[in-house]
Structure 1
């Protein structure tokens, strides 16, 4: 009995089972993540409701809202890019609501070559989605407050800087001819599970071919 051949075959089957198991697990994760994204997309596209008095990250993220407010002259520029217009900024402005509350709104994208007009002189009816972006990470530079160039939409920090409540709405509606609304989507939600499925199953196929060839050579050599 060729114990080396038996050991090699057993080890190969174990490794193959691990690859297939990981691929199957990622397939299940793909199904779950696709379902989660579908639920979020449904929530984003729902009919807007009145802005809650105390929006909550746990229950109100992506909630479509509609409100009337006066856009203030002050604003924050957050460095960004647009697939159609290149480099530019997201414009974040304070808005004073009819009930006196002050919130933050992401009015959209403006290209570097364009100038922002003065804020509208009268209150506007605005529609958008509540959001708590997670832009900042360990590699994000510090914001340049002197030049009004920010590198992340940090809701708490922006609210303190502009004197508003830490409530952030990304608008669907346009408030300036130079601004291009960048409404909330699910594009930023990572979902690479299909890639992982392909990786693990490709490894399983490659391992099977390599193992089969190695066992064939071992058997032939010992014949």
Structure 2
């Protein structure tokens, strides 16, 4: 095989690799769309159907209203890049242990960040509390780039780019290994914590946007292959004229 043929095959391999990468992003966006459609299709359970956290862990991975007594544990996680009413801020999470044993991450609500992004001074929750809330998926992680957590100036307070329960559990020395990445979103009527709601898809894209992004990624993959084919066709025409 001549060097010219080797180079030609090399360009095709590169084009196919790039197209495959773009298709991978497209399928990832489609999966995000299906996951969010499935979540929105669920009807939030009524408070009269509340279960304990131990019971929720044994039930199918759907939405559950939880009522349980929990002991708050040391360590606070601030989820970065959380918008509310057009303002940038963080969501505050703290681990807690249910009476039956499981350790979960509790969503305490949202706090704004100033322009200089100075982290708010926090007073962690302590002691046991009777809590109610929605046992629901954690905020979507998107593309997992870089470390999940970074230390802040305040002891035992961590800034997170995503809710990665195994990483958070390892950093805090706790068994946060819930495979479905679920958290307890506290009832907004409870007095402890900060501003919060129970929207199913807070601070995230709707399913239709994911479909649009998927179409764009597939379109880019097709464009790469078309351009590679056109370049190959033009090269062969030039060679035929010699």
What range is the shorter-chain TM-score in?
0.5 to 0.7
Q: 2:135 aligns with which of 113, 128, 136?
A: 128
Distance 2:240 2:29 in 1: 45
Equivalent residue, structure 1, for 2:117: none
Equivalent residue, structure 1, for 2:183: 169
| Map 1:67-106 → 2, pairs under 5 A | 67-70=66-69, 76-83=76-83, 84-92=86-94, 94=96, 96=98, 103-106=104-107
Larger radius of gyration: 1
CA-to-partner distance for each residue in 1:54-95, whole Å, 9 max, x for gaps?
Answer: 727xx855x311122356676624241223321334232537
Q: Identify if the C-alpha distance between structure 1 residues 85 and 170 changes in structure 2 by more than 3 Å, giving closer, same or farther.
A: farther
Q: 1:150 aligns with which of 155, 158, 171?
A: 158
Alignment RMSD: 5.3
Equivalent residue, structure 1, for 2:228: 207
Query: What SS is found at the alignment partner of 1:147?
Result: coil
Distance 1:81 1:24 in 2: 30
What is the TM-score of this pair, normalised by structure 1? Answer: 0.57
Query: What SS is found at the alignment partner of 2:226?
Result: helix
Q: Identify if the C-alpha distance between structure 1 residues 172 and 199 changes in structure 2 by more than 3 Å, giving closer, same or farther.
A: farther
Report if aligned partners of 1:69, 1:126 keep a CA contact under 8 Å in 2. no
Query: What SS is found at the alignment partner of 1:88?
Result: strand
Report if aligned partners of 2:96, 2:106 keep a CA contact under 8 Å in 1. yes
Q: Name stretches of at least 5 consecutive residues in structure 1 with no aligned partner.
A: none
Query: What SS is found at the alignment partner of 1:55?
Result: helix
Distance 1:25 1:118 in 2: 43
- Which is worse superposed, 31-40 or 19-28? 19-28
**1:129, distance to aligned residue in structure 2 (A):** 0.5
Q: Name stretches of at least 5 consecutive residues in structure 2 with no aligned partner.
A: 115-119
Distance 2:139 2:90 in 1: 21
Q: 1:197 aligns with which of 218, 228, 237?
A: 218
Q: Identify if the C-alpha distance between structure 1 residues 31 and 102 changes in structure 2 by more than 3 Å, giving closer, same or farther.
A: closer
Report if aligned partners of 1:23, 1:200 keep a CA contact under 8 Å in 2. yes
Distance 2:150 2:28 in 1: 36
> How many equivalent pairs are there?
207
Report if aligned partners of 1:80, 1:88 keep a CA contact under 8 Å in 2. yes
What is the TM-score of this pair, normalised by structure 2? Answer: 0.53
Are 2:48 and 1:41 equivalent residues in the alignment?
A: no
